[in-house]
Amino acid sequence: MSNGQVTIAIDAMGGENSPYKVLKGAQIFQNKNQNVKMIFFGNKTEITSNIRKFKIDISNYEIVNTTENVQDDDNVNTILRSRKDSSIYRALEFVKKNPDTGFVSAGNTAAIMVLSRLHLGMIEGIDRPAICSLIPNKKNYSLMLDLGANVTVNPENLFQFALMGFSYYTIINKDSKPTIGILNIGTENNKGLEFLQVAAELISKSFLKDYFIGFIEPNKITLGDCDIIISDGYTGNIMLKSAEGISNFITSNLRDMFSKNLLNKLAYKIVQNDLKIFRDQVNPEIYNGANLIGLGGTSIKSHGNASETAFSHAINKCYTSIKNNLNQQIIKSVNNL
């Protein structure tokens, strides 16, 4: 990127408990990144009221007032025709016109995807963007896409996801030789739906064949044997949310167990450091914020129910993507394949 200041356009109205959680998340982020300007798009009166009421301590920001909100049940036509003064539309319009900027939202996934494509465009040769994020495993992490941008896909889409995933992974892990797998109900070549089998054939006939390990089952993801996991958005989103639910179930039960009696509390003190490491490994908040990979700009999707801390991680992911020229590197890598 240039030496100019990084600016992040933030949808202040999207997701649960907004704008409070967005503003508090911005404060948490800004405590470590004073040089980043943040522009909040949304109801200015509501945003200002939350800053005063909750004593949100942020600086180097501005507020752009918008008069409309994208609703959960809005269809594509409504989003494109009747939500032009929404926080998502206006923020992405700003990113389109300004270099060294990116977008973050916990709002409606369909609106973010549609409006990101409208304003930021697509990488040449890529038909659809994919929600892409890091998934923790025993060795470190895997890269998984798609996690919800595309409910239905064709084999060519999955092949393009594999290309983008490979480019992305080799950028964030230089000199690596990542393995690629397609999420499926079994590892046999004849298992799963036809579009998965055709996608596997496309990958096997490309230069990616040297990295392709075939199908991978969901219960093997945490082993860390597959670096790039390819899926349609419907399956990927269910897998991700199931994993997060199980993670929360395990950690909450551990918390209850260690607080049950004095002996358990003493046992907790003994293993406290190890449990903290375990908690950080599976904590969904740390991994919040997924890149819409395949676009001509930086657009980050946060979970709608993300906490303030989790939202700060989404903002940080946007910042590091801009700072490291990540999207331009992906464009260059894909175009050179």
pLDDT for residue 284: 66
192 has pLDDT over 90: no
CA dihedral 268, 273, 278, 281 (to 10 degrees): 150
* Average pLDDT of the segment spanning 1-10: 79
Could you tell me if 306 and 312 are in contact, meaning their C-beta atoms sit under 8 angstroms apart? no
Range of weakest confidence among 61-70, 109-118, 130-139, 244-253: 244-253
pLDDT for residue 1: 53
Q: How many structural domains comprise the chain? A: 2
pLDDT for residue 4: 67
pLDDT for residue 282: 62
Both 120 and 79 in a single domain? yes
CA dihedral 276, 280, 281, 282 (to 10 degrees): 110
Both 111 and 202 in a single domain? no
For residue 330, being part of any structural domain is answered with no
Higher pLDDT, 19 or 134: 19
For residue 333, being part of any structural domain is answered with no
Both 214 and 97 in a single domain? no
Mean pLDDT of the chain: 90
Both 137 and 260 in a single domain? yes
Both 174 and 312 in a single domain? no
User: Which CATH number is 36's domain given?
Assistant: 3.40.718.10
Range of weakest confidence among 81-90, 100-109, 258-267: 258-267
Range of weakest confidence among 45-49, 254-258, 313-317: 254-258
For residue 16, being part of any structural domain is answered with yes
Percentage with pLDDT > 70 across the chain: 96
For residue 336, being part of any structural domain is answered with no
Both 209 and 317 in a single domain? no
Full-model pTM: 0.87
Mark out the alpha helices in the chain (DSSP H runs): 20-30, 44-53, 76-82, 87-97, 109-120, 155-172, 194-204, 233-258, 262-282, 308-323, 326-336
For residue 60, being part of any structural domain is answered with yes
17 has pLDDT over 60: yes
Both 142 and 12 in a single domain? no
For residue 289, being part of any structural domain is answered with no
170 has pLDDT over 80: yes
280 has pLDDT over 70: no
Domain holding 62, by residue range, is 1-126+294-325
Both 115 and 3 in a single domain? yes
Both 137 and 240 in a single domain? yes
For residue 335, being part of any structural domain is answered with no
Both 94 and 21 in a single domain? yes
